[in-house]
Amino acid sequence: MAELIVVLALALVAVAGTVVVRTRDPAGQAVVLGGYGLLLSVLFVVLQAPDVALSQVAVGAAVVPLMVLLTIRAIGRYQGPRR
């Protein structure tokens, strides 16, 4: 049963990683990246690494997507409106 949960978590992470790569819009990619970070933290919990999972939730699911979204916003200010 435990092996099935690990395989399922790995499969979800693989699918989510593919979705992140295939997303073209940078803002959408940041949102999907946050979901990918959450799935990675679930994988780490399943693999009995709660300290790594907590770090992943803080950095991979919250800080990095927020930084990407703020960067996209800042770049948009300097470029002006798109045509």
User: Where do the domains of the chain lie?
Assistant: 2-79
Give how far the C-alpha of residue 44 lies from the chain's centroid of Cα atoms, to the nearest Å: 14
Give the global pTM: 0.84
Quick: pLDDT tens for 31-71.
999 999 999 999 999 999 999 999 999 999 899 999 999 99
- Read off the DSSP letter of residue 83: -
Number of helices (H), then strands (E), in the chain? 4, 0
Q: What is the pLDDT of residue 79?
A: 77
Report whether pLDDT(13) > 70. Answer: yes
> Average pLDDT in the 21-34 region?
93
pLDDT value at residue 32:
94
Instruction: Please name which of 65, 75, 58, 50 lies closest in space to residue 20, comparing C-alpha atoms.
Output: 65
